[in-house]
Every structure is written in C-alpha cells, then in structure tokens.
Amino acid sequence: MLPLSSKRNKRSTIGLDIGAIGARAAQIVRTEATKRDERPLYTVTAAGVSGQMGGATNAFNIVDAARDVRRCLVLDSFQGRRVCVLVGPPALEVHSLELPKAVLSGVGGNGDVSSVSQVVQWEMQRLCHGSAEGAESGHAMIADVEMRHWTLPATTVSAPNVMGVALPARKVDQVMSICKMTDLRCERIDVGAISVARMGALLKDWRDDEAWGVVDFGVEGTRLILCVDRVPVLVRTIGPGGGAWTRRIAETLQISHRSAEVHKCDCGLMPPGTRIARKDIDRVAGGSTEPPHDAIASIVFGALRADLKSMATEIKRSYEYVLSCYPGRRAADLVLLGGGAEMKNLTVYLGDALGIPVRRVRDYLSEPTCRLVVNDEHMAHVEVLASAIGAAIQDECEVAAPRP
C-alpha cells in the first residue's frame, strides 16, 4: 500500500482502465476533513475517455491500446506520470476459498504470512486453467502466473474466508509495455473488483449490517461484485457484455452497430407495465425514419429479455448466498456502472425484479453522505469512468479491501 501523505489536496496517482474498446483515466484530489465529525472528500479533477465508444470489439492490440491511452490523457489536465492500471476478467481469474482457520491465524498475528500465500497458491493452482509450476515463496509468483489474495470478513458459519486472484504473466508484461510506450510509470496493478468496491464505498454510508453490490457492465462480460464491510466477498460473471447486447439489437432492428448502441442508451428498455400499439411496432419493422422511442424500447426489451431475466436471477441467488454466509445482514443497494449502466430504464427493470434499490453512480452524487465529488464536466461519462476513479483512490484505508 502506498504511504499516506500528510499534504492536503494532493493529486492522486492516475487510475487507468484499459478496456476492450478504449481507455478511461481519472485523477482525484483528497480533501482532508477539517472537523472531527467530517470525512474526507474525493474530487475528480481530471478524466478522459477514448477509443471506440459503442464500437465493435476487436482483438486486443498493444499498439492500439497505447494509442488510446495517449489520447485519453491529453483530454484533461492530468498531472504526473504515475498510474495504477486495472485488470479484470477474462484475463484475471477470481476464486473464493475456504481455508482452515489454523492457516489463517497467521495473518496479522505471529504466524507466517508467507505460508498463507503458499496455501492459497496451491488451491489456486487446482482451480485455475493455466500452468502452476515453479512456485516462489513469499511473493506467490509462479512461472507464468501472478497470484495474490485478500481475506474476507469473519463469519459464524462455514463460508469462504479468502479471495484468490491469478493473472497470467503475459498480461502483466502487456501492461508494462503499454506504460513504457506511453512514458508512464506503473506503480500498481489493481484488481477491478477491489477498485469498484473502493469507489462504491464512497457513494453512501453503508451500514455494518448491509451487503451491497456493484454490477460492472463491460464490453466482454457483465460482472457482479458483492461487498460486506466494504470488502468484495463475491465476484462472478453474470452474463454477456454490452457488446453482445449491442450486436443482438443491431441484428433484431437490422441497423448498424453504432446505431444499435445509440438506441440501447437513448431508448433503452420498455418500462414495466407499458403498452405499445401494434402499429408502432410495425413502423419500426417497416423502417420508419421516425419510429416512436417506446416502440424501439419494446423491441430492445424483447431482444434482451432472456439475458435480463437470467441476470436478475443470478443477482438474486448471489445475494441470497452472501446473506447465508453472513447471517444477520440484509440486502442493500445494487450500484450499476460501466457503459451498459447508461441504458434507459435498466435500473427500473432490475429494481422491480430484485426488490432492492438499484441505482447508477450518478444517482448518489447529490446525496449528503456521498464523499465522491464529480463536476458537470466529467458527469457525462461517470459510469464509464467509475472503475478508473476507484483505481485512483489509493490512500483511504477504510474503504479499501486489502490489496492483492
């Protein structure tokens, strides 16, 4: 963990999210509390989004990624060259583990912490798809995979107590190559689940008896992160990414990929209980130049109905599982971020299906307990920037899970 700074209003490391279709970067300033009952504020001071927003996914290319990073960083007044780069699935594997309590007793006590890493490594080798030979004690490094872990909150029932992550060494090499090509100094490679949990913890004063979640709508996959005591305790993929949704809409409406992306965000889903006239549906099917938004939303909902229903079911089951692992907790908000979070009426659909508050990042920013400050200049892409914002938050121990 980076050392805490005694200076006020010092700009953070740049949080950098290099995705399948572009790059997102964010930098923040932490404003220290001036009164005993106040808490620090985190203000986004620079942000950039570059790449094929809404474009089709292409094979990952280091040269293209470096180009997107350069373009991203010239869009705003970023300071310094220090970066924290995010990694996540599918390159990163995440597995929950239940280790013997005797093994974990060494963490934070008089035991040997390296032995815990070794046990985690053995378990991760069994679960991961890659090779796992050539272990190197202490750093949990193997020949072709980097492994780390963090401990989960204590519970009174039998449940996972460690979260392990594994990242192929070639992915680390890619990150370092991109940084070298763009004259950046990579100070940390951050796990995406921890980053979004760190950001989500600033949105609300979460109660100690709550389990809350984040859905990250990526281009290649949609991931759910559930948190207890501000620590990610469940990380899983719950459906296809926004790219698959856009392709399905394009095929259904017989339109371009980019037009489908616009319809996905602007028209979105048909609100529950809305009735659409058959003539309006026919106007869309007939290629009308001015089809009603509600009719398009109805068709979009039909194209995505199976995925949406499956997603809601997986989220509900995941909440139920976490609540069974942590008795006495209750299901709290689900926060949506990523490009797909901008889809109109998606929060309405999921909230109705799950029976819990479902909100986007921007919906929290005006509330008095929110400690994340985003001005109008950066508000347009705040859901897309959310992961990068989380990576930039490096100095707040109480909102950060132990970093792998």
Residue 29: per-residue pLDDT: 94
Beta bridge partners of 360: 336
**Helix residue spans in 135-289 (DSSP H):** 169-181, 192-200, 242-253, 257-266, 278-285
Q: Work out the pLDDT band at 18, boundaries 50, 70, 90.
A: very high
Rg over CA atoms, the chain: 22
Q: Work out the pLDDT band at 353, boundaries 50, 70, 90.
A: very high
For residue range 75-111, list pLDDT tens digits in order. 999 999 999 999 988 889 999 999 888 777 764 444 4
| Cβ contact 244:230 at 8 Å | no
My answer on whether omega of the bond before 271 falls inside 30° of 0, hence cis, is no
| Cβ contact 27:365 at 8 Å | no
Of 269-273, 278-282, 344-348, which range is least confident? 278-282
Residue 52: per-residue pLDDT: 63
Tally of CB atoms within 10 A around 160: 16
CA distance 388 to 167: 19
Domains, the chain, with CATH or none: 95-162 (no CATH), 206-365 (3.30.420.40)
Residue 116: per-residue pLDDT: 81
Q: Please give the helix or strand (H or E) that residue 71 lies within, else none.
A: helix 62-73
